[in-house]
Structure 1
Amino acid sequence: MYPNWLAQRVQMTPSRLALTFEDKSWTFQQLLEEVLITAGTLKTAGIDHGNRIAILAPSHPQLIITIHACWQLGCEVVLLNERLSDEELAYQVADAQPAHVLVKDSYKERIGTYKTLTLEELSRLDSIPINMEEEWPLTRTMSIMYTSGTTGRPKGVRQTVLNHTTNATASAFNMGIQTDDVWLCTMPIFHISGLSILIRSVLYGMEVKLYSKFDVVQVVDDLVNGCVTRMSVVSVMLQRILRELDERNVNVSPLLLTMLVGGGPVPSHYLERALARGIPILQTYGMTETASQTATLAPEDAARKLGSSGKPLFLSFIRIDQTKAPFEEGEICIRGGHVTPGYIGQYEHTPSQDKGWLYTGDIGYLDDEGYLFVVDRRSDLIISGGENIYPAEVESAILQHPKIREAGVCGVNDEAWGQVPVAFIVSDGEISLESLQQFLQGKLASYKIPKKVYQVDAMPRNASNKLLRRELRVWVTSKSNE
């Protein structure tokens, strides 16, 4: 058994700031008071202990309070992605089979005829007292998140008390905790990067400065003015922050202690520019099935091991499948208390582990000092004439072009070579295939250089800003048929 997270935090530091949003702040005591009121209205609405409850709402204090309220009732929370299509939402609701769906009023029509209760309706109900548990079982499922679907049909992943607590504890061992820490949260709460920040807040006693969405101008203001000490981003967010810093010709405040960058491989060019702007960049590796981080580069290694995701966190284990020596590439496998015990719905009987190990589907290697380097998704691998081409490597080279802001690479069928790489770019001005190929000469082997380039207005990304390369392959097919 572990302590009830929020109740234990209030016992320890009731007056410490927990949450700031726009011009309003909550201490942990004030947060608990609102959570208990909301839990009482949930009980009035007929939600019982242990129910599975889905929530569809934007990142807002009301969402955070509702999540905590469900947890105080012992409920499993299915966090739905507001950016999904109606069809994708319908799949997840049907798969999860929640007792109720709590929605922001403006989203109610998106859920259809399923049993829904709007957050506005909930706020108008009478609140009745609830029995607040002092302890929670380690195996209790706290949250259910659907995988990002970068490789196929999303799976509903169980995340338990043990999963979340192990992850937050291991992260604290790596980064350290300060009483004046403020974590800038622009990641969506329905994504593990966002939810894990809220859980760290309660376990660490740390303030979260919440944004409803990523606003690069306001974010850079906070980073430059020293308003926050920690932040989590993905590669495309880092690129936008760097661009804004470059345009202003300013560095971030020395009060910024950590910027965690995850969500896939990060071009080394970005990491070098970040260090030059004073950003203490820490590349991290994790996934929905591991309740966030599994490996993170320690601060003292950030420059020496540029491009690495670091060593496994203290409570994690990593091995590279079917390899015997450093630098040999293979599938990354993970073991530890942060690994999900399994899935729900149509994947309920699909094991998440094989002899204790989670097979991630990602390709990487450990160097001679045990540092993890993530190469790419196995499903995105391009095999051309028997040679392996990793899209992330090609994208990293393309992004060194001063006029290219975003890049995506995928493989297409080719009669002579089996597959060849093609590139999609978002750029400032027209860039021809010939000029791009010339730019990449000397940076990449000839077989890795894209054979076609498509200029687009925006890349296909999921809600956590991960590039969807499978969508690029669909785009290639559609363009070929035009």
Structure 2
Amino acid sequence: MEVSVNYCPVRWQAMHNSQTVAIESEKQQITYQQLDNLLIDLQTQLIIKINKKEDELETSSRSIRLVCIASNGLELLLLQLLCIRLGWLFCPLNPRFTDPEITQRLAILSSDYCWVADDSTHSHFKTLDIDFSLSEKKTVKDNKLTNITINPKQPCNIIFTSGSSGSPKAIIHHYENHFFSALGSQALIPLNRYDHNLLSLPLFHIGGYATVIRTIIAGACIHLTSSALNILMLQQQKITHLSLVSTQLIRLLSDPFFTVKECPIKHILLGGSAFSDSLLTSLTARGFDYHLSYGCTEMASQVATSNNSNHLQILPYREVKIRNNEIYLRGKTRLYGYFQENKIVEVDPKQWIRIGDTGRLTNNYLHVSGRKDRQFISGGENIQPEEIEYVCLQHNSVEKAYICPIKDQQYGQRIAIFIEFFENEITRFEQQVQILKTYLATQLTRFKQPNVYLAWPQITNQQSLKVPKEAFMAQLKEQKLI
């Protein structure tokens, strides 16, 4: 028997797999029965607080937007799951955002309810106190549990993403989007109640949110950790499923004990950036099953995924078409709508959406060329930055590469590239650049070879899965290249 889209997934697991561990960290284990108990107590507390606030504001019943400024942790995870049960909108924000960035998003959300995990930062935004210790002191017997019916088309989250303009978009999903996203993912990456899934991506990112839903629906165990990703942690926590960006993978591969014989890992999901062929070859040589992934916030995470190859297969419940070389998407995982001007703006379920990516479709396999808004013209030739970046990453000295157009009087625009080498010593940068230039001259036609090479910016206090575009632009402006 499998969980239904019409039922609260935590309650369903508490009824059918009550003693299975749902959440595990270095400090504690929580079974599905205990997790359900925690949600019951948290629900009681929050409904009292919010009903009182609604009465004070003299507002009618409406969809509650629960803003959470927090890093991954048990408290944030509980609030995510509770919002699904109650039909509230879970609105996680990156706690490393600056005050102006948070203010901008709070203005869009227009919510009276903001919980801040760390009182030492952003406490001035707090409008809601939650006592999580109350839940830890109480227990509820499970002998009278019944399914909790939910409306699967009720919006349950707002996750921000930035478009080409850089202005954040408040994207809304309902539970059905996430449910079918999870089921489709199972087609290539099986997950069952005996598996252990590491929450290695933040909950304010669609990849982190989707990890939780996939795990709960499968009745598996979510692992929370504050430790750095390392082999010992993977072994001790018996991690079977892992999501990684390229930097994380590179660090793990530097350890000779990162092999399928030494680690219990069954599947590694790769996303967020390009991966060189050498990295993928290393994974295969060490016995791992890996899955490259193409996805986006608008489609509730994964759209197409590979199976130990570069061939991205369209997952079930997603639809893809190509028009004028541009990728269009829809299906059961496609976003419900946007939050704009203090209201939910629903998108017609049959409408195809475009997110600015280019590619081609062969049977049920998708090849992604790059971002349409990144393409530019140099001397009359079309430049697709992702193509050049991919070639750079094939060189064994290059860890990161990012192309930017710069102004040029003769050609209109030329190519600048930001590079981070594995041996990241500034004194050797020019020497490493010369070696890379020689290599690229054999791999790229002349007009695609970068004209300016710049060191990757040193960025601190940033938690992001995407490249630091603002830092690139600031450096180019400083050097009067744009």
Q: Which runs of 5+ in 1 are unaligned?
A: 323-329
> Which residue is 2:365 aligned to?
371
Q: For 1:481 and 1:209, how far apart are their aligned partners in 2? A: 45
Q: For 1:458 and 1:426, how far apart are their aligned partners in 2? A: 10
Give secondary structure in 2 for the equivalent of 1:106.
Answer: coil
Residue identity matched to 1:270: L
Q: For 1:210 and 1:6, how far apart are their aligned partners in 2? A: 17
Residue identity matched to 1:30: Q
Match of 2:392 among 398, 417, 433: 398
Match of 1:235 among 209, 229, 246: 246
> Which residue is 1:311 aligned to?
313
**4+ aligned runs moved over 4 Å, structure 1:** 121-127, 148-151, 222-226, 346-355, 459-462
Note if contact 1:343-1:349 (Cα within 8 Å) is conserved in structure 2: yes
Q: CA deviation at 1:137?
A: 1.3
The 1:110/1:339 distance shift into structure 2, 3 A limit, reads same
Matching of residue 333 in structure 1 with residue 328 in structure 2 = yes
Q: Deviations over 1:179-220 (max 9, x none)?
A: 32111111112211111111112111011112246x23x2x3
Residue identity matched to 2:252: I
Matching of residue 96 in structure 1 with residue 88 in structure 2 = no
Q: Deviations over 1:412-469 (max 9, x none)?
A: 1222222221111222232324333112121222212111111235469974421134
> Which residue is 1:444 aligned to?
444
Q: CA deviation at 1:72?
A: 3.2
Q: Deviations over 1:215-274 (max 9, x none)?
A: 23x2x33456782111112233223322x23xx365234742211112244333332232
> Which residue is 1:172 aligned to?
186
The 1:274/1:189 distance shift into structure 2, 3 A limit, reads same
Note if contact 1:317-1:336 (Cα within 8 Å) is conserved in structure 2: yes
Match of 2:380 among 362, 366, 386: 386
Match of 1:321 among 306, 313, 323: 323
Give secondary structure in 2 for the equivalent of 1:442.
Answer: helix
Normalising by structure 2, report the TM-score. Answer: 0.86
The 1:137/1:349 distance shift into structure 2, 3 A limit, reads closer
Q: For 1:457 and 1:249, how far apart are their aligned partners in 2? A: 31
> Which residue is 1:4 aligned to?
8
Normalising by structure 1, report the TM-score. Answer: 0.86
> Which residue is 1:326 aligned to?
none
> Which residue is 1:29 aligned to?
33
Q: For 2:345 and 2:476, how far apart are their aligned partners in 1? A: 32
Q: For 1:90 and 1:226, how far apart are their aligned partners in 2? A: 38
Q: For 1:345 and 1:110, how far apart are their aligned partners in 2? A: 24
Q: For 1:448 and 1:350, how far apart are their aligned partners in 2? A: 42
Give secondary structure in 2 for the equivalent of 1:251.
Answer: coil
Pairing of 1:141-156 with structure 2 (within 5 A): 141-148=155-162, 152-156=166-170
The 1:45/1:354 distance shift into structure 2, 3 A limit, reads closer
Residue identity matched to 1:51: I
The 1:333/1:268 distance shift into structure 2, 3 A limit, reads farther
Note if contact 2:109-2:342 (Cα within 8 Å) is conserved in structure 1: no
Matching of residue 258 in structure 1 with residue 267 in structure 2 = yes
Q: For 1:170 and 1:388, how far apart are their aligned partners in 2? A: 36
Matching of residue 454 in structure 1 with residue 454 in structure 2 = yes
Q: For 2:296 and 2:226, how far apart are their aligned partners in 1? A: 22
The 1:379/1:70 distance shift into structure 2, 3 A limit, reads same
The 1:201/1:349 distance shift into structure 2, 3 A limit, reads closer
The 1:252/1:413 distance shift into structure 2, 3 A limit, reads farther
Q: CA deviation at 1:6?
A: 1.2
Give secondary structure in 2 for the equivalent of 1:41.
Answer: helix
> Which residue is 1:61 aligned to?
74
Q: For 2:342 and 2:305, how far apart are their aligned partners in 1? A: 29
> Which residue is 1:421 aligned to?
415
Q: Give the stretch that moved more between structures: 312-321 or 233-242.
A: 233-242
Q: CA deviation at 1:347?
A: 9.3
Q: For 2:463 and 2:165, how far apart are their aligned partners in 1? A: 15
Q: For 1:44 and 1:350, how far apart are their aligned partners in 2? A: 29
> Which residue is 1:327 aligned to?
none
Q: For 1:7 and 1:451, how far apart are their aligned partners in 2? A: 58
Q: For 1:292 and 1:255, how far apart are their aligned partners in 2? A: 25
Note if contact 1:39-1:72 (Cα within 8 Å) is conserved in structure 2: no
Matching of residue 110 in structure 1 with residue 122 in structure 2 = yes
Give secondary structure in 2 for the equivalent of 1:175.
Answer: coil
Q: For 1:226 and 1:20, how far apart are their aligned partners in 2? A: 8
Identity of aligned residues (%): 26
> Which residue is 1:289 aligned to?
298
Residue identity matched to 2:240: T
Note if contact 1:58-1:212 (Cα within 8 Å) is conserved in structure 2: no
Q: Which runs of 5+ in 2 are unaligned?
A: 55-60
Give secondary structure in 1 for the equivalent of 2:281.
Answer: helix
Q: For 1:470 and 1:457, how far apart are their aligned partners in 2? A: 10
Q: Deviations over 1:160-180 (max 9, x none)?
A: 011111101111133223332
Q: CA deviation at 1:115?
A: 5.6
The 1:202/1:357 distance shift into structure 2, 3 A limit, reads same
Matching of residue 157 in structure 1 with residue 171 in structure 2 = yes
Give secondary structure in 1 for the equivalent of 2:128.
Answer: strand
Note if contact 1:101-1:117 (Cα within 8 Å) is conserved in structure 2: yes
Please, what is the CA RMSD of the aligned residues? 3.0
Q: CA deviation at 1:93?
A: 1.0
Q: Deviations over 1:377-413 (max 9, x none)?
A: 2111232223222222222222333333222221112
The 1:421/1:132 distance shift into structure 2, 3 A limit, reads farther
Give secondary structure in 2 for the equivalent of 1:147.
Answer: strand
Q: Give the stretch that moved more between structures: 269-278 or 151-160.
A: 269-278
Note if contact 2:108-2:342 (Cα within 8 Å) is conserved in structure 1: no
